[in-house]
Structure 1
């Protein structure tokens, strides 16, 4: 994908011209299997500029800067790619909420140096997989990278957080924002557990379903349970769920929730 030109990229999938068929979209699993690209509704691929123009301005974007895990990039190449992205963002984002995120440590450092308008988050799987670049292999390394390079936060695979819950307080004490992603974030109990741990937000596939399920676990503070300033939960831009109330729990309830973590890690 990173070797495609723009015209080649746009030639895949559904096409805008009536009657014209694009090249088939396939995806490769971590195990190496090739699968059909399956979505609920097909739509032609678009550029970042078109996304800014056509999506309503109140919707925030998490601009994930993707690079090949197996390539060692030279700094001049990273700068060239990042400047091309930043040019579009500065021209078309206007007042839209934006964050940048990337698994590539050098790209995270550079995009922070190239601009100070938008927050930069370092993506990590929290040690669930091991890479040659040690900066990618733990939440402690992610924290170190953020502090040394003035990044604003971390986005971690939730399993990495559940396996190392003690690091959450270290991240929060460092005034960094902590978000999570992963299949477990489609389990309401896992999201609820993160609320108790003080995690700032979750990236989920089933935004509406998870929002409602978590809201039902906490007694409402108003009739507007989802979406309003006084409600329990608010769906923010970029599919982030933020639970707003601060419930009180008995020792038995807390014990049950912490016992739930090992079961969640088996999912």
Structure 2
């Protein structure tokens, strides 16, 4: 179901943006501190008042059909991808976790894993195979060992052999904790099949397998849980009080049987009823409906966005002005460089007690020199065209 673009008059211009947008962002941020059901503080470890940049599947997702070499430079969701992203000033890496048939959490985005055998494509459900079989796909850790060729199917059904310039082996959640540089934060997306109705006991089994690894290896590493599956998000919130939980939504660009997935307002309702700490929205949903940012802030929820438009520095800057607290990006190098150009972080840490009382002098914002006020006003007026494409 296609949504119409907002009218230009509905898009905030620079005159409507708060004089010190970063200070407002800083004061309203929920990324740093949350509260569990018993009123106790959820684990800290986040940069207070800092615009958060997260590396999508590490150094960016693989789009094998793309002509952009950056989208097939490093194998997504791999140790290599994570540690490459960690070389840049990002706060978190985002990755997808599924649980194998023998209860091992592994890092893989696609619901099905594909290989070729005797000229035919063989497709298996990622959660329907054992850990040993999962690790037998693609490059192997052992020198000289050859794994099964790995293929990928696009949404339109096209098949590509999964080859990238810098390949790496498939890995487990335990390996990620052990091999990714500390203290890089983890945004752990709990991956589930949109076409499956999960029973509560099945969700609990999967989530407990993930929590077992997190509890054993996380230590003081910053962690965020996120999921498109509403019941999974609510369940992981009930099963632990240590880490924030964010609900993932595309904000209505696709319509699902479960109405909780179909709008930003439904996402707000779910978070408030379930005690979740924030929303991760497709960026186009925010640009189509800038007023939702205010409603999210009024609900005391944090807001992060994802989507290919987040690879455009100007769009990231617009979101910063609008009050979005962070972005998940593929082009980690380009976006971190852009963000460092236009945001200066606070000179000192701010405690919880004076989180809402800091003076404006403790946060400075500077506009990137190449963007004049006129240029930014024009850019904001381009939002309808951006989200129409």
> Normalising by the residue count of structure 1, what TM-score does the alignment of the two structures yield?
0.86
- Mapped pair 1:106 → 2:231: yes
Q: Aligned residue pairs: how many?
A: 247
Instruction: Output the CA distance in 2 between the equivalents of 1:114 and 1:66.
Output: 17
- Mapped pair 1:3 → 2:98: no
Residue 186 of structure 1: aligned partner: 311
Cα shift at 1:132:
1.0
Instruction: Output the CA distance in 2 between the equivalents of 1:123 and 1:250.
Output: 34
Aligned to 1:203, which of 307, 323, 328?
A: 328
Aligned to 1:68, which of 193, 198, 204?
A: 193
1:179–1:203 CA contact under 8 A, matched in 2: yes
SS in 1 for 2:127: coil
Instruction: Output the CA distance in 2 between the equivalents of 1:4 and 1:204.
Output: 30
Aligned to 2:251, which of 110, 126, 134?
A: 126
Change (3 A) 1:129 1:245: farther
- Mapped pair 1:265 → 2:376: no
Cα shift at 1:203:
0.5
Instruction: Output the CA distance in 2 between the equivalents of 1:31 and 1:168.
Output: 32
2:138–2:150 CA contact under 8 A, matched in 1: yes
> Mind listing any 5+ residue stretches in structure 1 that lack a counterpart?
222-227, 232-243
2:251–2:263 CA contact under 8 A, matched in 1: yes
Moved over 2 A (4+): 213-216, 228-231, 244-255
2:187–2:225 CA contact under 8 A, matched in 1: yes
SS in 2 for 1:2: helix
SS in 1 for 2:184: coil
> Mind listing any 5+ residue stretches in structure 2 that lack a counterpart?
1-125, 349-362
Report which structure shows greater RCO (CA 8 Å, sep ≥6).
Answer: 2
- Mapped pair 1:159 → 2:159: no
Cα shift at 1:11:
0.8
Instruction: Output the CA distance in 1 between the equivalents of 2:375 and 2:330.
Output: 27
Instruction: Output the CA distance in 1 between the equivalents of 2:316 and 2:364.
Output: 14
Deviation sequence 1:131-173 (CA, Å, 0-9, x none): 1111111111111100000000000110111111110100011
Residue 174 of structure 1: aligned partner: 299
> Normalising by the residue count of structure 2, what TM-score does the alignment of the two structures yield?
0.60
Instruction: Output the CA distance in 2 between the equivalents of 1:129 and 1:118.
Output: 29
Aligned to 1:246, which of 331, 344, 365?
A: 365
Change (3 A) 1:23 1:245: farther
1:14–1:45 CA contact under 8 A, matched in 2: yes
Aligned to 2:182, which of 38, 54, 57?
A: 57
